[in-house]
Structure 1
């Protein structure tokens, strides 16, 4: 199959899109003489009164999340920013981990797109669409992904950065991100954008059509997006040699030009095979931003069957494909003898054998592997809303979510390579120095792909009733009660390294929840310094078929002493259920001979220089428990009457996150010394213990019948080990003033982490995550002016410098990198209307205006913290309505 779908198949689309852009722009420009512009032809009207709207963070109509702050990105904000996709829009929110980074459709190329909040893991944040659960497209995780909605279909994004399991159940530990779609649209609207940067381009085109009538509405939106890739070699600020900064040289010695080792203390560098060492950049060919193309379709319909009954349905389908340039696996200690016709002894050594380290560019015919990931997801929800007596309302809905992930990763067959290294003829032997390896041998060596297809499905049935329970002087007590049944399945077919991994996992979840809103003080009983006081009590019970039950309460309180000033606080408990693959994924067993335990990170300090043969187990663990969290927040909102153009909010939060699921792999000596992991290390196992450990596991690169005496068994499966404690402050200040010349607007929003502590286990040492690469401060400022048809907006994005450890010649040390600040600029112009095109707007945006070089760090790629690898990016866009 072609792995260059963007640079080949998309050329026609790029030319077509550019032609459409030029024709529409020319027509709109020609219309300038026809007078002043009018409002857009596409208009959203309210889907209902404010009392009918359910705000994120509450189950009760017309009630904001009592005690919790709400971060909102409106449709006007999205248009002002010029974001053309979900990843672009979320990259502008300082509280999200993806802030000020290159928009990506997946994290790590595994199909999942789910940035977390406030530095917490992605799985601790729950994405929603119109308040309903979504599904994962990942090969590794089953926590939901963010939706790839067409940009024109988004009405607003609401973020409650507070524990919300009492309302939504699992995964809402750090908070929820709710995408709310447009419900009523009249007419047709389209947009197109083309942008470019050094070694990069991106194209987006979308359209939305809607029709509304007295008793209902219909909306359909589609978007196509694509971008080219950026590799490490495309960005010259990357570095791997840090000796000048007191670090070490981390360049690889496993390179296209081989190195030969005779274990005499001298290394010989090809092609001359004279004393020396070849070095290279192993991540130069690797993607920083992968190629992508995405199709997304959204359809929504609503119809009143009577004055009391409304039926509705929402459907989202997305199809995205990533081609990821991945590093070729270096081959080390490949033994060649004089019997191999391609054997090349270093001159003057007279050796009859040699160990060769090389990167197999000569076998692959390129400096990288192209990995392919195609993810198709669907989210369909349909429901019935019924007005009951006493202003109560019943909602019944069903959801069917599905995803399919097709993953293909080329690989090296190390067995075939070793056989070829021992070959004695040109037809059967490996040539690690040049291109002498026969095509048949190359085919055998490259015949080791990982080829998987994963299907995930979620079925949900739910019912909820909410309405006023009783009247108090302060207002109406309101209540919501609901029940939900959810069925989740995960199946996998395919193989890796010739080993099949069929998986069929399933579970069911039964839930009951309730919420009570009490207006203790309101308009009817207000007094000085007590304009209003509201209380919210909520709780949820979830029973999982695979691990048991959990109950999570939350209490929220909001006090308004005077108009325009609110104090709020909340306390709650949240949880994240173990994913289906955390519990039930295939357990693989690996054999590490005593001489190779260091390569597996399995050296046992108690055994000194005499290491032992070891079996290592990886995979799911059915004994997992839910991750648990305690969340507390306190905040203030200010909207003073004397300064109506100004608003401000600040929220202090404190999160204690226990039983975090992880693997003890990679802990080194801690695995053998920390009492928490004592049961994970079995020394000198009996025959029964060995049988119990490897029964029902899949062996990698060995057979059970051939293993020698085993000295250690290391159980590195998932477990509830970690503890995270963090607190900090979210803040948001905004100003908007309208005068004769137009409207002046500005703001600053961000997150400041006061503390972030991490423990690998309850008994391990506490580490400071602020000294492990997490930035203390993230913020974004906005300043702009709208005057007539022209709007000019400036955005400044800032991440504080990160502190992290780096390797030195004598050990390690801490290094604090500088901060990372970029500037974005967007200029838009509304053009006069045409009879067939109204509300036309053209815009020029430049992200990272000054092409900021990321801060230096003497480790990894020489870059301190997350950054946007795209650099200066210029784009032209056109938006119009019919």
Structure 2
């Protein structure tokens, strides 16, 4: 561990002392780029006249020459094969402009039915751990050589829990680009605008990587009177007031973010990365007309003051993040260390309306005072205020390598140790009452994972590998929690892989669930299942310091199969059964069962009308959820059109002019394409232009793709406590204000891409549900959401670029989200829609259209230098 400690400190120091370390810098770092196992790769061959043969390289960078039976560069550890591998053309066919967008475009393939959340998959870079997703989030997809999608079990080999899929991104050896992106979006029904500006710089060369990106994004407010929302007037005196112009369906927000990452080789063979980010987010929402009441001898008189403007909530969050990663090899062992430091400061201020104390005094003492007339001058009540500071510090290390030699191969192990501390201190003033919370948690973790080969691939039953894993974490506020698990991976045939795994995990509530500040929000539209009425209530959100840890058991049986060797069709399926003791949940719907179990969370007035609900998290007794997911991914290569002879001649003439007529002419595109960097990527090892790789010789550069995932929810039940009816979310119980759990959920993506032009459809469908209540059942119709993306990578139109060089590296995109402008539909037994389930409340924005302009700038010196490189 002494070397680990030394390297952790050096990871921060090297970013500030580049000159001092330059003398120690080694040759391009193998640990940053090489394989996660016994692979053999060689650099791309030297080019003739600066060009490599089209048979050995693609249009963006070098293809590896891989020794048969060994892994390509950047592969993950272990012998579990990827469920899918995307090459540059597959990635380009998505139309994504960042890795973040790329993952969104592949949502149906990277989702998981297990785990505590449905968030991002675990992301690796070149088969190695990274300092955090923000390190690669904004990188251009053109920099990717390939992307692998792997099952959850691979996460164990990197020290993570096996509850999320793994995505391994392998970057090109060399890449150089500056990108600028402008995006605008608007709702077709008006009232909503969104805009984004993003710029970034990426250099990958000589075993180092540097990137910096800046992003500014914002959207306008969308008010209720800009949508078809039924009038529920504020019954003020002397006249009612329409509250719709004073309430937002979507609040305005603005976000500024600056991210920088630097990776280099230090201490001879260590790949070190440092990443930093600063972000500022502001938001503003409106929630009603300012009102106050006067007491006239026991009669309450409600007065509204629209002239004061809407009641407003302002929020602001400022955050700073720092991450480090160290990766190196020592013999047959792979070592990794990551560190992180995060801090955020959040403030929220909420209007409380007018203070009528003076008017009430006059009403009590002056019999001539008219409570419905001019109330004279009055002040404003103090705003409710909440503030929270959050921080987290973490340092961990992993080591992976062979333990012992067995007849079927080496048994390998992954060991992980980590230490961390998180804290949150918050305070809130609500209606003059002050509350505060100061929580912190330190954690010390030790984990181990062992893979035992049982049979070789050449055996009669194929390759069989067993897995054992466990961890123990000591938490300062919860004691020690443990995780144990086991699994089998079986490959009875070369293109068929089956897995079964089980794990038992104890999980504490997060500090946010324990200590978030109490926030009161008035005038929230809420459906009361007990009465069948829609009412405006006050909701309370925040943390619950009395939450307990849960214990979950997860069984998964899954597999993936490529049935045909020549056809790129992959089938996948998995069954997951998950049971949890003491699950943490929210009182998110005012169902009769929940109210019976937690009567103190629901407040009613003397007439029985619901007036307030406490939505803070609680512990239930137990839950069970069974799901079955299956799907397939299909890709068909398409033949691309070669450029015209006139375009080739125009390119030769222009390129010769840029070089001042010196040296040899570049070969025509059909013989290898124009120089590196002429296309949308950049630098040495950047794109090979517009011929050869994309158009030359009938190369299969286009793609026709289709991917589908169907999730069948078999069981979804919760036992609140003994003596309380069970919550069955598939049969009549609401998950929240959007109904119950649908039996069927389908995600799909399909697209066509060729010669630089593409179209992509991405859809989500869920089946209908029904919610039971004594006041009458509610039926939630099936819902389908379909998005369209049309895009053009103008760089690939060689005829256009040869005439107008500006379009080199340029792409445009047109998006239509929610093409059919669908909104959820809810009906009661009479066929009517309750007010709180109005379609525009559930889906306020509706259809949006957007346009994106993006350009990659390539330094001319890079492709000129490469064109002048002498042949070897």
Shorter-chain TM-score bucket reads: 0.5 to 0.7
Alpha carbons 2:586, 2:618 under 8 Å: kept? yes
Q: C-alpha displacement at 1:487, in angstroms?
A: 0.7
Q: C-alpha displacement at 1:214, in angstroms?
A: 1.9
Give the alignment partner of residue 567 of structure 2, picking from 638, 641, 644: 644
Give the alignment partner of residue 781 of structure 2, picking from 813, 817, 821: 817
Q: Does 1:505 align with 2:446?
A: no
Give the alignment partner of residue 190 of structure 1, picking from 180, 185, 190: 180
1:308 aligns to what?
Answer: 269
Structure-to-structure mapping, 1:425-824, within 5 angstroms: 436-439=374-377, 441=378, 443=379, 446-493=380-427, 495-523=429-457, 525-527=458-460, 530-583=461-514, 624-661=547-584, 719-740=618-639, 742-770=702-730, 771=732, 772=734, 773=739, 774-805=741-772, 811-824=775-788
1:218 aligns to what?
Answer: 210
Give the alignment partner of residue 258 of structure 1, picking from 236, 239, 243: 236
Hey, what's the Cα distance between the residues in 1 that align with 2:134 and 2:208? 28
Alpha carbons 1:322, 1:372 under 8 Å: kept? yes
Hey, what's the Cα distance between the residues in 1 that align with 2:366 and 2:116? 51
Alpha carbons 1:455, 1:490 under 8 Å: kept? yes
Label 1:531 to 1:863 Cα distance change in 2 as closer, same or farther (>3 A).
farther
Hey, what's the Cα distance between the residues in 2 that align with 1:561 and 1:384? 37
Give the alignment partner of residue 881 of structure 1, picking from 853, 856, 870: 856
Label 1:203 to 1:768 Cα distance change in 2 as closer, same or farther (>3 A).
same
Hey, what's the Cα distance between the residues in 1 that align with 2:708 and 2:277? 33
Deviates more, 1:561-570 or 1:635-644: 635-644
**Secondary structure of the structure 1 residue equivalent to 2:385:** strand
Q: TM-score, normalised by structure 2?
A: 0.67
1:843 aligns to what?
Answer: 813
Hey, what's the Cα distance between the residues in 1 that align with 2:422 and 2:381? 34
1:421 aligns to what?
Answer: 360
Alpha carbons 1:129, 1:147 under 8 Å: kept? no
Structure-to-structure mapping, 1:107-126, within 5 angstroms: none
Alpha carbons 1:635, 1:649 under 8 Å: kept? yes
Q: C-alpha displacement at 1:488, in angstroms?
A: 0.7
1:696 aligns to what?
Answer: none
Label 1:663 to 1:532 Cα distance change in 2 as closer, same or farther (>3 A).
closer
**Secondary structure of the structure 2 residue equivalent to 1:852:** coil
Q: C-alpha displacement at 1:168, in angstroms?
A: 9.0
Give the alignment partner of residue 93 of structure 1, picking from 107, 128, 131: 107
Q: C-alpha displacement at 1:462, in angstroms?
A: 1.4
Alpha carbons 1:216, 1:301 under 8 Å: kept? yes
2:300 aligns to what?
Answer: 355
**Secondary structure of the structure 1 residue equivalent to 2:319:** strand
Q: C-alpha displacement at 1:526, in angstroms?
A: 2.5
Give the alignment partner of residue 316 of structure 2, picking from 371, 374, 378: 374
Q: C-alpha displacement at 1:412, in angstroms?
A: 3.7
Q: C-alpha displacement at 1:715, in angstroms?
A: 12
Q: C-alpha displacement at 1:628, in angstroms?
A: 1.8
**Secondary structure of the structure 2 residue equivalent to 1:423:** helix
Deviations 1:649-707 (A, max 9, x none): 11111111221235789989979976xx89x99xxxxxxxxxxxxxxxxxxxxxxxxxx
**Secondary structure of the structure 1 residue equivalent to 2:322:** strand
Give the alignment partner of residue 340 of structure 2, picking from 399, 411, 428: 399
Structure 1 stretches lacking a partner, 5+ long: 1-37, 56-60, 97-115, 136-144, 240-250, 260-269, 272-277, 338-352, 590-598, 604-616, 682-713
Hey, what's the Cα distance between the residues in 2 that align with 1:506 and 1:284? 42
Q: C-alpha displacement at 1:477, in angstroms?
A: 2.0
Give the alignment partner of residue 855 of structure 1, picking from 822, 825, 829: 825
Hey, what's the Cα distance between the residues in 1 that align with 2:342 and 2:167? 16
Alpha carbons 2:80, 2:489 under 8 Å: kept? no
Q: C-alpha displacement at 1:375, in angstroms?
A: 1.9
Alpha carbons 1:202, 1:226 under 8 Å: kept? yes
Label 1:177 to 1:169 Cα distance change in 2 as closer, same or farther (>3 A).
same
Alpha carbons 2:386, 2:519 under 8 Å: kept? no
Q: C-alpha displacement at 1:71, in angstroms?
A: 11
Hey, what's the Cα distance between the residues in 2 that align with 1:394 and 1:428? 84
**Secondary structure of the structure 2 residue equivalent to 1:640:** coil
1:711 aligns to what?
Answer: none
Hey, what's the Cα distance between the residues in 2 that align with 1:374 and 1:180? 34
Hey, what's the Cα distance between the residues in 2 that align with 1:73 and 1:776? 35
Q: Does 1:828 align with 2:792?
A: yes
Deviates more, 1:418-427 or 1:282-291: 418-427
Hey, what's the Cα distance between the residues in 1 that align with 2:255 and 2:136? 9
Structure-to-structure mapping, 1:17-56, within 5 angstroms: 53=74
Give the alignment partner of residue 385 of structure 1, picking from 327, 330, 333: 327
Alpha carbons 2:159, 2:415 under 8 Å: kept? no
Alpha carbons 1:426, 1:438 under 8 Å: kept? no
Q: C-alpha displacement at 1:545, in angstroms?
A: 0.5
1:140 aligns to what?
Answer: none
Alpha carbons 1:224, 1:293 under 8 Å: kept? yes
Q: C-alpha displacement at 1:296, in angstroms?
A: 2.2
1:12 aligns to what?
Answer: none
Hey, what's the Cα distance between the residues in 2 that align with 1:291 and 1:179? 36
Hey, what's the Cα distance between the residues in 1 that align with 2:62 and 2:485? 34
Hey, what's the Cα distance between the residues in 2 that align with 1:404 and 1:825? 37
2:860 aligns to what?
Answer: none
Q: C-alpha displacement at 1:571, in angstroms?
A: 0.9
**Secondary structure of the structure 1 residue equivalent to 2:311:** strand
Structure-to-structure mapping, 1:296-335, within 5 angstroms: 296-305=257-266, 307-328=268-289, 334-335=294-295
Alpha carbons 2:122, 2:164 under 8 Å: kept? no
Hey, what's the Cα distance between the residues in 2 that align with 1:438 and 1:305? 73
Deviations 1:555-574 (A, max 9, x none): 22221211212222211123
2:687 aligns to what?
Answer: none
Q: C-alpha displacement at 1:510, in angstroms?
A: 0.4
Alpha carbons 2:766, 2:782 under 8 Å: kept? no
Deviations 1:621-664 (A, max 9, x none): 66543122111111121212345221121111111122123578
Label 1:169 to 1:785 Cα distance change in 2 as closer, same or farther (>3 A).
closer
**Secondary structure of the structure 2 residue equivalent to 1:186:** strand
Hey, what's the Cα distance between the residues in 2 that align with 1:50 and 1:379? 35
Hey, what's the Cα distance between the residues in 2 that align with 1:321 and 1:453? 14
